[in-house]
Amino acid sequence: MSEKILIVDDEKDILNLFENILVSAGHTVVKAESGKAALQILEREHIHIILMDIKMPDMDGLELCRKVKHHVPASICIAITGHASVFDLVSCREAGFDDYYEKPIPFDTLREVVGNAVATIGRWKTVAIDSEAEPAIQL
């Protein structure tokens, strides 16, 4: 089963570029132009891999990541930002981001990062399914 990838960025050009790259690599992509729109999507759909910008007008990526990790602890959140700094990196790790990349991200790197995230979620799901006990984390 293919994992859906949620991309959250307030720049439509970035959303469309990332979508084209990931769809051409065989992934299913859902897009959101804001943190609030992303949360609405996540209420309706089971998505465990989220790529998001940090600097967005209505809700920054740090707040969004905290909310996602609170409700779906077995998610993989990846920051992709045009405003990289050591401070942002530390803040991202504290907020729960699993990884952090600076824009522009090379296309091959984007495909590799998402491919690794898909493999990780698949492995986690296999463990949850194979477990005889009630899984602690809902996938």
Average pLDDT taken over every residue of the chain: 89
> In this predicted model, what pLDDT tens digit does every residue of 15-32 receive, in sequence order?
999 999 999 999 999 999
- Domains located in the chain, CATH noted: 4-130 (3.40.50.2300)
Q: Secondary structure of the chain in the HEC alphabet?
A: CCCEEEEECCCHHHHHHHHHHHHHCCCEEEEECCHHHHHHHHHHCCCCEEEECCCCCCCCHHHHHHHHHHHCCCCEEEEEECCCCHHHHHHHHHHCCCEEEECCCCHHHHHHHHHHHHHHHHHHHHHHHHCCCCCCCCC
Model pLDDT, residue 87 = 63
- State yes or no: pLDDT of 77 exceeds 50: yes
Model pLDDT, residue 3 = 87
Is this prediction's pTM over 0.75? Answer: yes
